[in-house]
Each structure stands twice: as structure tokens, then as C-alpha cells.
Structure 1
């Protein structure tokens, strides 16, 4: 399959109106083709037997078979399938989305709460959706070597509805690589990566930035950290409500107390602070204390919260005693802040290309030559632990 072939998408939502709107949004991009549009998880399973699909947009709440029930069944049919969970911004749906990421979904996207919002003010939703679909399709194509099974002879190219029925027999799953394959977002010309020596001082803070694929990466890294005395600050590109649930899941998975940061809160060691959705989270020095500040300054890198303001502020507050980590994500947020950290003598670590869902953010800092290490996801926690625990 040529990289120029349109991305093959299936839209799964119980609302015919929403399916139609999303299909039109996607197909306005010539690089995307919606090959199936169905109303529940069972119909999605049926459609997957007839169509070659790379990315699935999967609603959570549907009759007959909901999104969480369908998720493992779809991955059983094709383990490389890239599934984006779609849900409205409620605490319940945010919690389900986080559990879906743990269960194998590649990403999530919050849906506008009404069709009016989707058609009137939904430009941000459309841009985010198209960006995620294309990035995850690249991941699919890299994982499968560009191969796909063609639809059976005589089958229509697109399916707008399919009768529900008995669950299809699962075909042999495509082998899933031992590490997640990348979706490349070019930031700098490819070339050898030069590494710097980490700071010789033990860090007083760990600052982490992440975006697409970030929750899964955060769970993996933080669950591997034991006994750290330093505070951990996290900016994950995520809307309000979702960041509340993200902090709860981090606390449960890692065993480290985690919560959304609060304006004016004194930063304490051994705790995790997550930037709340729609707020930049920065650090202010007040005597010997470090205080969290939240603001709604303009978005940076089209994001709020953004990694760069957090990185700049921790650099100003702690200087060379900053250890920072850039995990999977689209774009280059964290690059300028990472440069400020290195200029002050601190340390930057990045996730490698092979284990990133999208090697945009970590690729930007890696290829800029400001990293002390560029590591596969399973090796990040031991490396962080080693630097953080030294005296």
C-alpha cells in the first residue's frame, strides 16, 4: 500500500446524523476515505470482515454493543487496528476513555456536545480529528509494513449500514510488534541524534510533557518509579474533565498521590501534579517554596495546557536541578521549553521513535540535540530512577 493511498476509516456511532457529519468532515480531506459507517459495535465487527480498515472512530455509548465491549473484539480481529474512542465531555465518559486506553485503544477525542456545536464551532474538533486519524494511520502502516487485506471480491467499497447479526468468526490477527510502531510527524530533517551529558546534580523536580498516546506512556513510566522524593509535574494535552480522571488513574496505577494542580498550591515532594484542562500550569518561586500557578494565557503550540510554559517555569525555578521527559505526541510542544532547561544546565530525556505512537514532540527534542537519552518506553523509568535517586 502506497503511503499516498487515502487513509481507510470506519465511523461507529449510533446517531446517523453524527455519522454523517463526521464522515463529511473526514472526506473533505482528500487523504481520507470513510469505507464504513455503522451504528453499533456489532455492525462494526461485521463491517471489519468485509472492509480493509486502518483507523476506527468508536463511540462509547451505543445500543446492542457499546464501544467498550466492541474494543477488544475489534482488536482480536486485527491487533494493529488504530481505535480512537469518541465521547462527550462527562466524568463517566472520561473514565471510560481512560480505561479504553488501558485496554488497547490508541487515542480518544472529545465530541462536541451537540450537532450545532459540531457544525458551527467544531473547527477545532475537525482539525484534531483529521490530525489524529492521519497520524494513527501512519502508525498502522508502519506496523503492518504497508500491507492490508483487500475486501472480498464483489464487496462495495463503502458501507453506510450493515445488518446486525451473529458475531463473525475472528480471522487470524495480524502480528503486533513487541513495541508500538511510530506515526511520524516531521519536525526536523532526519539524521543522527547527538546526546548531551545529563546534569551532574541530582534533580529536585521531574517535569513531563505528552500528547497523543501520552496517557498509556505515562501509566507505563510512572508505574515503574518507586520511592522518588521529587515532585512530578505533568502537562498532557487533554481537555478539562479528562485531566481530572487522568490524575485519578495515574494515582491508582502508580501508587503515587496524584491530582490536578491548584492555583497557589505549595509543591511537595513525592506527589504528582497534573495540569488541568484549559489551563497552563507553571511554577513560581516564593522564598524557598515553589508554588503552582494556573493561567489562561493564550495557547502555545495551539495547546492549553502547553508543555513549553511549564518547562520554562521549572527551569527558572530549579535551574540545573530539573529532569524533564518528553513522551509521545503530535507537534513540537516542549522543544522551546526543553531548550530553556538545557540552557540552565538541566536534563531532557525523550521517548524513542519505535515506541512512540507519534514521534512528533519527542522527535523534535531528540533531533534538536538537547537530550541526554532517547529511550524506548520500557527503559525510561529505570533511567529516570537512576538519575533521580543519586545523591
Structure 2
């Protein structure tokens, strides 16, 4: 790979879109477009010929579509960053989920109106360029450190911050935050959780509207727990996994002995809506020291500040390790802030989380195991 500029192959059946993407990427001094392809079959050949650092891939193309092209490329290039272009439609979301399941690294939403040049340029610049830079940077780092053993706890010098609160009650909630690479990581974790998990699960995954609903449906079809996209007023209860809907922050609130979902249109935090920090911040006063937070792969820092709030309240936070993360932004920021209790490879997360959530549950009634804490007294 180039040690400086990111070498990108652009794949799209539209001449207009190919030209638009190429112009925008070439204008960035960090990126160089080394080739274009009009369908998946040509893309496979050019990946072998040009050896790009990253690929942008359309989904719907003649001859060979983007999903099939991803599957073929992954046979010889298991870690080459591939970013899909998708429309903000149910069909586009479904195709994107298929592509991510096939091994795509991430996706951006395709310009809906190529006639609006300014809007299209802004859309591609703000979404695509940061992802290409982050994904290729993560790949280079992984190539240099892949042989290192993943730490079982935060590295030396990254001491646990916040008061040393001893948790004397079982966990009452599992709260998960994820972004880039999250759908695959969530599938790995959730499909390995038992159907009798003793606590509810809430998730904030950075995704737009329609996509989060499709993600919930896909996960529900393969999990023993019931997975749905959250709606206003949903009750948080054992056996259910609630995913924040795209375009809305998800907060938890208590009423008597119940906990319910409140959806908010407040401004984005960390450039995200839904935001993991918003969700974590709302959880802390409801569940206090009975929260197990989990931060999976993702760009940026969302979740690091919220993890500090959870742990100040006595909760614990596990994060995915660098070696198995697509991008170690969110989990890495949490570790560097001293807010991670455990740093785990993806394949160990489900078993470790299940063990932590199940510990001492037998001595506590169902009401205590899942209900909120109000005014410092268990409801």
C-alpha cells in the first residue's frame, strides 16, 4: 500500500456517479483514484491488477452486482476496505445489509439527486472521505500489530477512572454502542447470547432511518432474543433487544417499577443521532451501578464520555479490542480515557458478557434483576 495517499478504486455503473466520486476524491490531498470500474466483474479484475488500498462499490450493477463482487474479493482480500454506496430506501438498506454480511467494511448513502451537484459533493465529502481515511489507517495499523496478543484488560498506565464503587447487586441491563463494522460485530455477539439472558439489551448503532429497522429484522431472524427497532414508549424488559431508530436519540426513563424508551430529536452529539453518549447518559440514573456497557468497533469517540458516566455510577464497561475491530475509534477512545474494565477480542465478548450478566442472578427476584433504581432505593 502507498505510505502516503490512499489509492482508491471506484466502482459504479453510472458514468455520472463515477466521475463525481473521482473528482471529489482526487481533490483531497490524502487520496488518489487509481482506477474505475463499471461493474463487479471488472472490479474484481482491477483489484488484482491495481492493488488499491480501498474500494468504493455500488450495489446494483449489471453483469455482477456489488454484493457478489464483495464476496469474490473477500476470497483473496479479506481485509481490503470496501465501502458500499447505498440509497436511503428499504431496497437499498436490504442490499447494504447483504453486502455487510458478505464482508463489506462500511457504507455511505448515495446521492439521491445527481442534478444537485453541490449537495452531492457535500454528501460524498462528509461521508466517504473520513471513512476511507479511517479504514485504510486501521488496516495499516492492523497489518503491523496483528500478531500481538489482545490485552485482557486496559494497558498499563490506563488506570480505571472514577470512584471505586463496589457493585453488590446483579447487573440489570446490557447497553451496547457501535458504529463502523458494528452490524457484523452485533451479529457475532447477539447470536451467541442465550435466549434466557437475565437482563434487557439496548443498542445504539450509528445508522440512518430505514437501515436500523432492517438491521433489527436481520438480527431478530438469527437470534434467540427478540430484536426490534425501538419506538416511543417501548417497555425495556428481559428477553428483548431494542435498537435505537436512525435519526433519533434513544433514552431510557423510569416510571414506577417500569423502564421505557423515550425518543428524542435533540441535536446530534459527536456528529451522531442516535448517539451512544446520549443513551449511556440517560441509563446511569435509572440503573445506577447495575449497568454493563459494551462498546464495539466504530469511528470517532461516541460512547467514551458516556462510559465514564456509567462507571462513575458504579457500572462496568467492556470494549472490543483493536485487533478484531474494523476501526478502533470508539473502543480505543474509551480505553485511552481510562474507562474500560475489560478489553476483549470479538470472539470472547458474548461468553464473557453472558458470564458477567448471569453472576448472582439466582439470589435476586426478577423485579430486582431488571427494574430501575429510584432515589437510591430499588424499585
TM-score, normalized by length of structure 2? Answer: 0.88
In 2 relative to 1, CA 144–334 (structure 1 residues): closer, same or farther, beyond 3 Å?
closer
**In the alignment, is the contact (CA less than 8 A) between 1:80 and 1:144 conserved in 2?**
no
Look up the match of 1:55. 54
CA shift digits 1:221-260 (9 cap, x unpaired) = 1111112121110000000010011101111222211111
Q: How does 1:10-89 map to 2 (within 5 A)?
A: 10-89=9-88
1:128 and 1:319 map into 2 onto residues whose CA distance is 36
CA shift digits 1:293-316 (9 cap, x unpaired) = 001100000100000110011111
**RMSD of aligned Cα (Å):** 2.2
In 2 relative to 1, CA 103–118 (structure 1 residues): closer, same or farther, beyond 3 Å?
farther
Matched, 1:194 2:156: no
Picking from 331, 342, 350, the partner of 1:373 is: 342
2:339 and 2:283 map into 1 onto residues whose CA distance is 16
**In the alignment, is the contact (CA less than 8 A) between 2:142 and 2:323 conserved in 1?**
no
**In the alignment, is the contact (CA less than 8 A) between 2:21 and 2:124 conserved in 1?**
no
CA shift digits 1:34-71 (9 cap, x unpaired) = 10111111111222232121111110001111111211
1:272 and 1:195 map into 2 onto residues whose CA distance is 29
Look up the match of 1:91. 90
Query: Secondary structure in 2 aligned to 1:84?
Result: strand
**In the alignment, is the contact (CA less than 8 A) between 1:27 and 1:33 conserved in 2?**
yes
2:167 and 2:345 map into 1 onto residues whose CA distance is 21
Could you tell me how far 1:143 is from its partner in structure 2?
4.3
- Give the structure with the larger helix fraction: 2
1:270 and 1:116 map into 2 onto residues whose CA distance is 47
CA shift digits 1:120-169 (9 cap, x unpaired) = 265244222111111111233234459xxxxxxxxxxxxxxxxxxxxxxx
Matched, 1:354 2:353: no
**In the alignment, is the contact (CA less than 8 A) between 2:113 and 2:120 conserved in 1?**
no
Look up the match of 1:284. 253
1:213 and 1:110 map into 2 onto residues whose CA distance is 16
1:263 and 1:326 map into 2 onto residues whose CA distance is 24
Query: Secondary structure in 2 aligned to 1:366?
Result: helix
Look up the match of 1:162. none
1:78 and 1:283 map into 2 onto residues whose CA distance is 42
Query: Secondary structure in 1 aligned to 2:267?
Result: coil
Matched, 1:112 2:111: yes
TM-score, normalized by length of structure 1? Answer: 0.85
1:332 and 1:200 map into 2 onto residues whose CA distance is 30
Picking from 281, 290, 293, the partner of 1:321 is: 290
Query: Secondary structure in 2 aligned to 1:43?
Result: helix
Look up the match of 1:206. 174
Look up the match of 1:240. 209
Look up the match of 1:140. 139
Look up the match of 2:280. 311
CA shift digits 1:72-100 (9 cap, x unpaired) = 22222423321111111121221221122
**In the alignment, is the contact (CA less than 8 A) between 2:251 and 2:261 conserved in 1?**
yes
Q: How does 1:251-262 map to 2 (within 5 A)?
A: 251-262=220-231
Could you tell me how far 1:116 is from its partner in structure 2?
3.4
Aligned length: 352
